[in-house]
Amino acid sequence: MANRTMLSGNEAEEGWISEPEGLITDVDLRTHENNLAHRTREIDRKRLIVRRGQPFSIALQCNGPLPPKHHLELVLHLGKRDEVVIKVQKERGAGDRWWFNQQGAQDEMLLTLHSPADAIIGQYSLAVLMMSPEGRIIEKKDKISFHLLYNPWCKDDVVYLPDETLLQEYMMNENGIIYMGTWNNIKSIHWNYGQFEDYVMDICFEVLDNSNDALRNSQMDIQRRSDPVYVSRIITAMVNSNDDRGILTGRWTEPYSDGVAPYRWTGSVPILRQWSKSGVKAVKYGQCWVFAAVACTVLRCLGIPTRHITNFSSAHDVDGNLSIDFLLDEQLEPIESKGRRDSSWNFHCWTESWMRRDDLPEGNDGWQVLDPTPQELSDGVFCCGPCPVTAIKEGNLGVKYDAPFIFAEVNADIIFWIVQENGQRRKIKADQTSVGKNISTKSVYGDFREDVTLHYKYPEGSKKEREVYEKSGRRVTDPTDESAEPARLQLSIKHAKPVFGTDFDVIIEVENKGDQDAHVQLTVLAMAVTYTSVYRGECQRQMTTVKVPAHKAQKEVLHLRYDDYAKCVSDDHLIRVKAFVGAAGENEPIMTVTDIPLSRPEVFIQVSKKVVKGKQVTADISFTNPLPVTLRDVVLTVEGAGLLSSTEVLPHADVAPGQKVFVRFPFSPMRTGVRKLLVDIDADKLKDVKGVANVIVRKKRRLLP
């Protein structure tokens, strides 16, 4: 941290002289001008909020000129107990110190304060002291409060991002898109980050104040808040509540009855407000996309450019061997192991934040991975990152923080083993290309997906990819026996895009590339799983003997009815189908696996054509129950940054099969601009139905006199 001139907590009080009438009668923080120049008007229009490394001015209203040979001194206080006190220099010195200059005109003095680009972020209290020629305090105007944030528009700030298009998205956009589903069937939901909503900034600083570091040593913690590496690491720890006063409790299986199911959230603001209002008690419940979205809100609000990332086919390598091992019994069902185990998630979400890494060698600046989902300990704390994306791509696994774990998330092998009755393992499938696919974020140019996979890894099979693997210690040889002949049988699974509540077919195709007919035993197993690959139950099993003529393909059909999967499907609406073929003459059995996401019904939203700030408008929402059973306890929730807080508008209704529901509700927009109205619908047998509508809010027209 830069050198700073400090005063003791009571030094500024020495020589205090109280006079009946002071020279300074009032202080104008010039909030409108300052907040506009510092791009903080959306946060608050009444309080002064500025960014470091950029000057701001306040005006002192006086009842006369400053007496001859008298001068002003400014003192800044930080912390609830004034843990840090900074004397502001009168003249410009080194760039690492606060300084000010003043201009006087008639009954006003304009003070322009200059903060260093590495100043501590937080709530400051400013005291203006009028000093006598002898150095005594003649008059004091204190408790002048303002907030200081990081400044990605300042080239000397380590979070400087020299692209206004990126800044408008990763700093100023309160709405985002989160990508989910599977790598070959990508879904998306809209999310309300709401970093400019009322009191969100205050909650962000409350999060910092309740970290373990702050509670242990508040003075040291406050001084370290100049460093976004430190602050971002604190945030990733505090978003989960595993070992601190964190915001969210994670839960990946039902029941969620004592809280809110993770899929019901549509924005960060209700979560942050509930945490604060409850006396910093963890909110129930979150999963990876919720953890990442809340972190994105907090980091953007504090001034660090941040984006939400989804990694499809994401590996969780517990033992650090860069291999994800799945053990199956001879019925192809997962073998539950004691203790922690490797896993592969259909998707996993984290954030990337932009910053210069002065603590690392050159080449590690730019986007940094930050993962607040509690998975592994990092220096004894449940957090992950920041880790340079470039280090992951280049295989530099010695770089801080947590590079080996993140590298495995996008690069690990997946190996399936059958455990036989005698306890021996038989490898049936090894895959070096499936992990880390279609790594996604919202585009800065609109509501569509940007693929950033090549930021994390070189193209599959390229020379550079092999060089990185050799550096990292990952195996680069083909996992199969190179001397073996190519398998004459090939297995594939095909399916349509089914809607939850309908019956559908899965087609399994066995192709024989050999010169002789093949008689094979085909086993097909459909099971319900979560997006984190947790087994929920068997939906259907089919075993057949199939004759496949030479150079031909044979198709078998697995019919899946709603009644088959409804009894065990998870809230993620995901069916995993495994097909297994054993045939005489084959060196190894053949297995293929595919995940089938079941889509939800569409939600239709219509908002009044003319929407004006402060004037009541209506929104019409409709959807149709696609299930062959009645939906009970239907709850419809709406929210939108600048539109309305999270509100239930259809509490606990019943909807018959095929019935169309129509809901009309009023609301009064609070802020102008392009806004998004987000809708979530949940019921006893249908979860996580989402809808979104754009709303353009205009200013009130002023009538001329």
Confirm if 613 and 699 have CB atoms less than 8 A apart: yes
Q: Which of 589, 654, 665 is nearest to 627 (CA)?
A: 654
DSSP calls for 340-372? ---EEEEEEEEEEEEE--TTS-TT--EEEEE--
DSSP secondary structure code for residue 281 in this structure:
P
Confirm if 203 and 239 have CB atoms less than 8 A apart: no
Residues 6+ apart with CB under 8 A from 239: 246, 247, 248, 291, 294, 295, 298, 372
The burial class, CB within 10 Å (0-12 / 13-18 / 19+), for 526 is buried
The burial class, CB within 10 Å (0-12 / 13-18 / 19+), for 486 is exposed
The number of angstroms, rounded, from the C-alpha of 567 to the middle of its chain's C-alpha atoms is 32
Query: What is the rounded distance in angstroms from the CA atom of residue 259 to the CA atom of residue 463?
Result: 50
Number of Cβ within 10 Å of residue 392's Cβ equals 26
- Using DSSP, state whether 480 is helix, strand or coil: coil
- HSE-CB at 111 with a 13 A cutoff on CA atoms is 26
User: Can you state the angle between helices 288-302 and 269-277, rounded to 10 degrees?
Assistant: 80
First to last CA, the chain: 56
Radius of gyration of the chain (CA): 30
Query: What is the rounded distance in angstroms from the CA atom of residue 37 to the CA atom of residue 40?
Result: 8
Query: What is the rounded distance in angstroms from the CA atom of residue 272 to the CA atom of residue 148?
Result: 20
Catalytic residues: 288, 348, 371
Confirm if 614 and 627 have CB atoms less than 8 A apart: no
Q: Give all strands of the β-sheet with 323-328 in edge-to-edge order.
A: 323-328, 413-419, 425-431
Amino acid at 523: T
Strand (E) or helix (H) holding 104 = strand 99-105
Query: What is the rounded distance in angstroms from the CA atom of residue 22 to the CA atom of residue 130?
Result: 10
Residues 6+ apart with CB under 8 A from 321: none
DSSP calls for 499-523? BTTS-EEEEEEEEE-SSS-EEEEEE
Query: What is the rounded distance in angstroms from the CA atom of residue 588 to the CA atom of residue 581?
Result: 9
